[in-house]
Structure 1
Amino acid sequence: MIEQPRLVMSNEEVIENIKKFNSEVALYAMGNQDISITLLVENISHYRAWYAYWDKDENKYLFAPSKYIGYQNMDAKQYAELNRSYLDGRKTEIVLANWYQTLDESSDSYEDLRTKLSDYCWNHNKSLNALFRINVLKQENEKDILEKDLVDLIYKVYLGLSSENKELVKRKIMNSL
């Protein structure tokens, strides 16, 4: 019996899957006709939820679909075996929303990424699905970053307090709620 795949738990796993998807699709372009890899390429026109990741090493955006990148340790063989019965893009999109957001059409980078994604599809003799959407890493504004740093600092100070002072802090917080 095939085991139900597990959803990703971190953005690092997502990035690893995006890179793997792109390397497997590249194998097809180099003549690898493995049935699993062929399935990935043949489905390019069917993928709706695309995720864009800027790869510093390759100095370009890499694209991959949610249904592939949302599961732990995904590869073409596993995707081919599980695609019809066990993989659910709705589930992966929920977990991927922890790190990514849909790029709004009014965004400055939307047209550029749409063109790059369309070119990516055309490079594999496929067209972009009419219902496509592009998801990018969530952007944190400076205020959110500063607040997170402040929370981390407060927590570290709290950990250094004596037991009595930790209790005092807890009471003060509870009284202010």
Structure 2
Amino acid sequence: MDYELVTSLDEVVQNIKQFNSDLSEELDVISQLSQFKHWYFIPQINLFGPSKYIGYKDMNTSRYNRGRSKTGVDTEKELKTWFIKLSRDSENSKKLMTELEAILACHNKKTRTNAHIHILKNGINLKIE
């Protein structure tokens, strides 16, 4: 099965919403939370999502299939269109990492020690419906 990469920020937003919905429904993706390295944050909706999940079109937990046939390398390249990686030492990164750690802790999971936070690039205006 081929998976297409996202081509618009709207698709990324939908995937992040779906990821968080899957978490709230206690779906299988919870078992993989500690494996994700690159996390993306959109302040307008106050949600995080991992690269390997949000970087493919129309993603959900069953399509994600524990990451089989997917690579974070491809999704990282695509997501750079809209996001920048924060320095791990920056105040914003530390604040967001603390928020992410709290979310994962609700599912008895921890972030990877080498996890990174990515945020929308300056100037990207997101209209949330």
Q: TM-score, normalised by structure 2?
A: 0.90
Task: Specify the alignment match of 2:61 in structure 1.
Answer: 76
Verify: 1:130 aligned to 2:77, yes or no: no
Task: Specify the alignment match of 1:62 in structure 2.
Answer: 47
Task: Specify the alignment match of 2:24 in structure 1.
Answer: 26
* Displacement after TM superposition at 1:131 (Å): 1.1
Matched residues in 1 for 2:105 and 2:86: separation? 21
Which aligned pairs between 1:124-163 and structure 2 lie closer than 5 A? 124-140=107-123
Task: Specify the alignment match of 1:53 in structure 2.
Answer: 42
* Displacement after TM superposition at 1:106 (Å): 4.0
Query: Which of the two has higher C-alpha Rg?
Result: 1
CA contact (8 A) 2:12 2:54 kept: yes
* Displacement after TM superposition at 1:105 (Å): 2.9
RMSD: 1.6
Q: Which runs of 4+ in 1 moved over 4 A?
A: none
Within the candidate set 26, 34, 43, 2:32 is matched to 43
Higher relative CO (Cα under 8 Å, sequence separation at least 6) belongs to 2
Structure having the larger proportion of residues in helix: 1
Task: Specify the alignment match of 2:94 in structure 1.
Answer: 111
- 1:81-111: per-residue Cα shift (whole Å, max 9, x none)? 7x22x11110000000000010123433222
Task: Specify the alignment match of 2:15 in structure 1.
Answer: 17
Matched residues in 2 for 1:24 and 1:55: separation? 20
Q: Secondary structure at the match of 2:42?
A: strand
Matched residues in 1 for 2:59 and 2:93: separation? 28
Within the candidate set 108, 113, 120, 2:103 is matched to 120
Matched residues in 1 for 2:89 and 2:110: separation? 22
- 1:14-55: per-residue Cα shift (whole Å, max 9, x none)? 011000000011001xxxxxxxx22x1000001000011124
